[in-house]
Amino acid sequence: MTKEYEKLFAAISGHFLTQQLPDNWGDFDDEYLEEWFVECAVHTYEYWDWQQVYAKISAITETVMELMKDVSNIRG
């Protein structure tokens, strides 16, 4: 996982969590990460399994990373 991915994931997490993950969230162990997701889930996602929310944020992050590469390639 790159620092760019971690930073983007953290920024996107703010759309799903009441408190955006810090940029160093990749250093969290699974137990702490689960606690963060459960405690900070916005109303829409409060009954989702935390791993489903994580997977949704991850998928969006990966899509944005690919788009950033494509745009970079277009610009040369």
Q: Residue 21: which region, alpha, beta or left (left: phi > 0; alpha: psi -120 to 50)?
A: beta
Q: Which residues of 34-45 are buried (b: 16+ CB within 10 A; e: fewer)?
A: eebbeebbeeeb
Structural domain span for residue 35:
3-75
CA–CA distance, 9 with 54 (Å, rounded to integer): 9
Task: Please tell me the predicted confidence (pLDDT) of residue 1.
Answer: 84
Please give the chain's pLDDT, 76 residues, in tens.
899 999 999 999 999 999 999 999 999 999 999 999 999 999 999 999 999 999 999 999 999 999 998 887 777 6
The owner of tokens 């791993």 is 51
**Total domains, the chain:** 1
* pTM recorded for the entire structure: 0.90
| Environment class of 61 (CB within 10 Å of its CB; exposed 0-12, middle 13-18, buried 19+) | buried
